[in-house]
């Protein structure tokens, strides 16, 4: 085994922290690959994918490995790896421009999932036959990534100036709010599970055959076509499980070559002529496509979970007879712990005995129920986060919306056994079209309710 001196190991750690402005754990820093990316965000088994790897030193015949999120090696190939230098000044926008390391043909038998090349470079493998589709929030990860010096945000961009355009062809890590769910899901025994990226949502064929769509983590950036496809899916009588908060907050679009994510967050600065395609907040009147129409909640009605001192860092249960809570001992008034960064809320008409009441007129849904709620705040204004279940109309599918960025993180499914149990129950019931509302919420038979 090759031994590395303490000074050499320390140098590798420092170098890794500097390259691409991405921070990885020291365990990864001791590896031979500093960073890298792929030419496609997602592929099918049997497809090819090109790797662009940046190594600490030139190594002929280096063994490149592909891992599951559980750390299981599933594939390896050999290629010469070398240190890489970017060929662009604005790498955050133009891409890093690394030279091709190798092209890998994936085995036709490779299972759909989220994988990591060298335990650090994400790759999503899709399925054309899945009944459960898990949506990985690749747009959100790119939006917050400051690899190359800038993101869509000023707080982590050079000179505190955000860029309205960021490249997918640069080093990125796994979206942190989704990580624990993805690991958990990898260990479950659900059959026919497939994974896609945000960009794949632009193509309805990617979800057409599925019965259940699961949105994970922090799914903040959506294109117009992705939203239309989501609504079409529900309108076709399919079901969705939204395990995300601050969901569908910004409209985005892609460059013609689909290598860039575009979001100006300001209608006047966005050069596109079409008013409907301006990359602004989805609740802006000019877009005429409010978030509530799709999700029953939005961020403006709730806020930040860990910055409000009136809440409980979790949901207070008010529907203990809900079949979604089967397998837990949760009672009305109990707190389902899930400290969250951001949460969404449904429109309320007020409170009755301290319990929030849904504003049915504002939503216009056939049937809606609050399972739990939390007091949050945003910009000094109090809000109410709501975990809801709804059926928009008689022919539409069911949507369960946990409305939290951290349901899928270490604060939620990664540490709370009740959330693990509830998540499995929600998936199972939606997949099997079983009853998902509390018995007292409707006199209609289960066949209508679902």
Paired residues of 67 in beta bridges: 73, 116
Distance between CA atoms of residues 26 and 22, nearest Å: 12
Let me know if 107 is exposed, middle or buried by CB neighbors in 10 A (0-12, 13-18, 19+).
exposed
Q: Which helix (H) or strand (E) holds 116?
A: strand 113-117
Q: How many residues does the chain have?
A: 450
Pair 289, 275: CB distance under 8 Å: no
Distance between CA atoms of residues 311 and 356, nearest Å: 14
Tokens 């207070």 belong to 316
Distance between CA atoms of residues 199 and 196, nearest Å: 8
How many beta carbons lie within 10 A of that of residue 135, not counting itself? 27
How many angstroms separate the most distant Cα atoms in the chain? 72
Distance between CA atoms of residues 204 and 72, nearest Å: 32
Question: What is the separation, in whole angstroms, between the first and last Cα of the chain?
Answer: 59
What pLDDT sits at residue 9?
33
What pLDDT sits at residue 307?
65
Measured CA to CA in angstroms, residue 408 lies from 141, 178, 186, 340 at distances of 15, 5, 13, 10
What the block records as the tokens of 241 is 């499980």
Letter string b/e over residues 19-45, b meaning 16 or more CB atoms within 10 A of that residue's CB? bbbbebeeebbebbbbbbbbebbbbee
What pLDDT sits at residue 88?
82
Distance between CA atoms of residues 70 and 404, nearest Å: 24
What pLDDT sits at residue 365?
97
3-class DSSP state for residue 19? helix
- The pTM for the full model equals 0.92
Paired residues of 241 in beta bridges: 214, 400
What pLDDT sits at residue 309?
67
Sign of CA pseudo-dihedral 22, 28, 34, 38: negative
Q: Which helix (H) or strand (E) holds 60?
A: strand 59-68
Distance between CA atoms of residues 168 and 199, nearest Å: 11
What pLDDT sits at residue 450?
44
Residues 6+ apart with CB under 8 A from 390: 296, 363, 365, 367, 368, 369, 398, 399, 401
In order along its 450 residues, the chain shows pLDDT tens digits of: 222 223 333 333 333 333 333 333 333 344 699 999 999 999 999 999 999 999 999 999 999 999 999 999 999 999 999 999 987 889 999 999 999 999 999 999 999 999 999 999 999 999 999 999 999 999 999 999 999 999 999 999 999 999 999 999 999 999 999 999 999 999 999 999 999 999 999 999 999 999 999 999 999 999 999 999 999 999 999 999 999 999 999 999 999 999 999 999 999 999 999 999 999 999 999 999 999 999 999 999 999 998 666 899 999 999 999 999 999 999 999 999 999 999 999 999 999 999 999 999 999 999 999 999 999 999 889 999 999 999 999 999 999 999 999 999 999 999 999 999 999 999 999 999 999 999 975 444 443 344
What pLDDT sits at residue 87?
77
3-class DSSP state for residue 188? coil
- Tell me the HSE value of 66 on the side-chain side, using a 13 A CA sphere: 22
What is the set of domains in the chain, with CATH numbers? 108-449 (3.40.50.880)
Distance between CA atoms of residues 306 and 2, nearest Å: 45
What pLDDT sits at residue 8?
32
What the block records as the tokens of 279 is 């990359």
- Tell me the HSE value of 344 on the side-chain side, using a 13 A CA sphere: 30
């Amino acid at each position: 085994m090759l031994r590395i001196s303490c000074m050499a190991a320390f140098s590798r750690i420092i170098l890794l922290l500097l390259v691409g402005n991405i921070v990885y754990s020291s365990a990864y820093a001791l590896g031979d690959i500093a960073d890298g990316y792929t030419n496609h965000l997602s592929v099918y088994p049997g497809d090819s994918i090109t790797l662009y790897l940046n190594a600490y030193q030139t190594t002929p015949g280096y063994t490149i490995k592909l891992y599951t999120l559980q750390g299981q090696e599933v594939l390896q190939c050999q290629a010469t790896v070398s240190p890489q230098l970017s060929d662009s000044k604005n790498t955050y926008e133009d891409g890093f421009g690394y030279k091709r390391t190798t092209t890998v043909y994936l085995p036709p038998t490779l299972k759909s999932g989220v994988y990591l090349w060298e335990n650090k470079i994400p790759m999503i493998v899709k399925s054309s036959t899945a009944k459960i589709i898990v949506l990985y929030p690749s747009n959100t990860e790119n939006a917050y990534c400051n690899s190359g010096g800038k993101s869509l945000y000023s707080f982590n961009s050079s000179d505190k100036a955000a860029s309205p355009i960021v490249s997918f062809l640069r080093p990125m890590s796994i979206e942190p709010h989704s990580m624990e769910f993805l690991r958990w899901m990898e260990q479950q025994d659900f059959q026919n599970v497939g994974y896609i990226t945000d960009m794949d949502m632009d193509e309805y064929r990617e979800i057409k055959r599925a019965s259940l769509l699961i949105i994970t983590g922090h799914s903040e950036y959506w294109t117009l076509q992705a939203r239309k496809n989501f609504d079409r899916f529900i309108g076709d009588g399919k079901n969705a499980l939204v395990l995300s908060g601050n969901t569908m907050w910004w409209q985005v679009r892609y460059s013609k070559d689909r290598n860039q994510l575009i979001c100006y967050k300001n209608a006047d600065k966005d050069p596109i002529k079409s008013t409907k395609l301006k990359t602004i907040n989805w609740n802006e009147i000019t877009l005429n496509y409010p978030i509530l129409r799709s999700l029953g909640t939005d961020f403006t009605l709730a806020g930040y979970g860990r910055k409000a001192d009136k809440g409980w860092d979790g949901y207070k249960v008010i529907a203990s007879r809900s079949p979604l809570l089967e397998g837990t001992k949760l009672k009305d008034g109990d707190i389902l712990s899930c400290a969250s960064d951001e949460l969404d809320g449904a429109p309320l008409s007020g409170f009755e005995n301290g319990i929030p009441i849904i504003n049915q007129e504002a939503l216009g849904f056939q049937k809606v129920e609050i399972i739990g709620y939390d007091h949050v705040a945003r910009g000094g204004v109090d809000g109410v986060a709501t975990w809801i279940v709804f059926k928009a109309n008689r022919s539409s599918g069911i949507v369960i919306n946990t409305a939290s960025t951290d349901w899928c993180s270490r604060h939620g499914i990664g540490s709370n056994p009740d959330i693990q149990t509830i998540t499995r129950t929600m998936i199972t019931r939606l997949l099997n079209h079983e009853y998902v509302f509390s018995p007292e919420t409707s006199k209609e038979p289960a066949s209508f309710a679902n």
